[in-house]
Amino acid sequence: MKLKDVVQIAVLTVIGFAIGMAVSMFTGTLGVIGLYASAGFAAFVVGPVFIIMAKRIQKRGAVALFWVIYGLLYSAMGYWIMIPICLVSAILSELIIGDYKNNVKVGIAFSVAMFVVAMHPIIFVKVLGVEGIVKFASSIGREQAEWMANFYTNKAIAIAIGCNIALELLAGQFGVYINKKFFEKRKEKGLL
């Protein structure tokens, strides 16, 4: 991978992260819906950026670097605890994507990685508990951590998982569609 590739990945990751955060902030205002699917809605803007990047670079490590940078951007915002989540996304997406040529695999690689990111509040509640969340996520106070722990019952987790599986898969396919429609070179000749 050349420096030019790394720069393109970094720039596209920052763009995807910024737009995704804006969407997540908006969906966060939707109350309980945001807790079920905030990252699922953000995936519809991050997905096309990820797919465009992956199809443009097509080099081993590109999607892993995308998710590592994504985690570092979270860290810069004070959510360093997202780095391990994004590392899992990096590994899974790199394992799934293969040679970067198959659009289905590229879409699934994004969907799986974004699903892992989408599950971060549930992972925090189940793995860290209230004390761990307060200790490791400085932006979340005890009251909010307790509220999260009470909210994520088995039923709420099942709903969140179902919503996010559907949304992440659709977002991956939407990203593939956007890339094919607007960014891939057309093979067919025009009428003229």
* CA distance linking residue 130 with residue 113, whole number of Å: 25
pLDDT tens track for 125-160? 999 999 999 998 877 899 999 999 999 999 999 999
Longest CA span, the chain: 67
pLDDT tens track for 33-64? 777 788 889 999 999 999 999 999 999 999 99
pLDDT tens track for 62-87? 999 999 999 999 999 988 989 999 99
The residue type of 2 is K
Which domains are present in the chain?
Answer: 3-189 (1.10.1760)
Q: What is the pTM of this model?
A: 0.91
